[in-house]
Amino acid sequence: MGNLKLKGKDILKLGYPNNQSVNIALEVMKRNFATKNIHYVKSLLKEIQQNPEQFEKDLTFGQIAEALLSSKKTEKRMLNTNRASFQIFGNNISDEAKNQLYTALKLPIATQGALMPDAHSGYGLPIGGVLAVENAVIPYGVGMDIGCRMSLSILDTPISYLDGARDKYEKALAEHTKFGMYETHKSHVDHEIFDRDTFDLIPILRRLKGKAIKQMGSSGGGNHFVEFGEVEITEEDKQINLPKGKYLGILSHSGSRGLGAEIAQYYSRVATEQCPLPKEAQNFAWLDLNTHLGLEYWTAMNLAGDYASACHDDIHRRLVKAVGGRVKARIENHHNFAWKEIHNGKEVIVHRKGATPANENELGMIPGSMTAKGFIVRGKGNPDSLNSASHGAGRAHSRGECRNLFTQNEIKKELKLKNVTLMGGNTEEAPMAYKDINEVMNAQSELVDILGTFQPRIVRMDK
């Protein structure tokens, strides 16, 4: 904690009430001003005590101000008996996933929900679940991998190079992509994101900055991937600005790495303490956006989303430098996030956990599997789906089931059949683990238009 010799009785002498505000003030000051002079620290505390309203939105002192202004006890929240309005897209969705959405729709803050056709059960909100709430954010509604996203670069390289110089593309993936918890690049870029004062304003971010720098440009484990493949533009679009035809593409899927995971764990725990709920709804604990902790999480979540985007920029930059060619178009969209949006004439917070934003004319990329085509899409802005679409094909079998159902030989046969080279990967991500992407796309024809496809050819995943 440093050298700050501050005690609770010192804070009481400044006029603080003998309640939780003293402990919070002690923790905040020792965490942020451990090396500062005690007289300076006391003068700050006195200023907050005299004018707490002025410090309510401050990222460093907001928690102290809030404790001074509020003497509310933490009361258990009850669920509503009726569900908020919702729509389910697609038929091949488990009862468990539906029931998770139904529980979320009974939250007193819920206004509307939807389930995408790739939906399957998760923790709290199901994967493929969309939930709008009033002035609050649910850390588990966003998920563990904050800002996880798809990123597609379309190059001017002739598509024939993928077969003609396959070794070069395999080598580029082997040498210039990093996966999982332990692989990192030797050289690191100086990205503007690390200059942001947000890293210094919130203690958990300050602690995680070193890890974020180290993991920049790397991908996670599980279903995260980087791949070269064949892009086919089937419908011309002003935003993509490319004629119909075939192109070489780089597609990546990953998120905010250790930074996002630790933010999610910390604020999920805090939300559960702040917002006790019945057992079946515990993972839906929320943070009010009028509170310091709500503002803190919202700020950290947005930083993690920007960091995830920066990681993809770095991945694509390294690969283009290795294989040559120029990027003619880039399509990127994220999921596992919360957005402030207007629906039914009212501002709400829309959580998309494993669901793609599909506002009118918004571009997105919906992948299939390591062997199945993915789809380049343009959103239709359907209000019934809260302007959302699926984020992939969705799992037909859980990871545990896959380990018992499929063998490496079966995966090799499927890869050979589809002319796909796989580097890394395991039975948990077998092509057969996923739903039929064509069925999923047919179930969301009201949500998106299809502009093109991406067929994987060389796929790199965690080992």
pLDDT score of 218: 97
Catalytic residue, chosen from 191, 312, 351, 391, is 391
104 annotated binding-site participant: no
Q: What is the pLDDT of residues 189-199, one digit of tens each?
A: 889 999 999 99
pLDDT score of 394: 93
- The yes-or-no verdict on residue 299 having pLDDT over 50 is yes
pLDDT score of 2: 56
pLDDT score of 1: 44
Q: What is the mean pLDDT of residues 57-85?
A: 85
What is the percentage of the chain residues whose pLDDT exceeds 90? Answer: 84
391 annotated binding-site participant: yes
8 annotated binding-site participant: no
Specify the pTM: 0.88
96 annotated binding-site participant: no
How far is Cα 138 from Cα 106, in angstroms, rounded to an integer? 14
Q: What is the mean pLDDT of the chain?
A: 94
119 annotated binding-site participant: no
- The yes-or-no verdict on residue 449 having pLDDT over 90 is yes
335 annotated binding-site participant: yes
pLDDT score of 189: 83
176 is catalytic: no
- The yes-or-no verdict on residue 154 having pLDDT over 90 is yes
- The yes-or-no verdict on residue 347 having pLDDT over 60 is yes
- The yes-or-no verdict on residue 295 having pLDDT over 60 is yes
Q: What is the pLDDT of residues 94-111, one digit of tens each?
A: 999 999 999 999 999 999
pLDDT score of 421: 96
Cβ(195)–Cβ(418) below 8 Å: no
pLDDT score of 71: 54
Q: What is the mean pLDDT of residues 79-97?
A: 95
pLDDT score of 294: 94
270 annotated binding-site participant: no
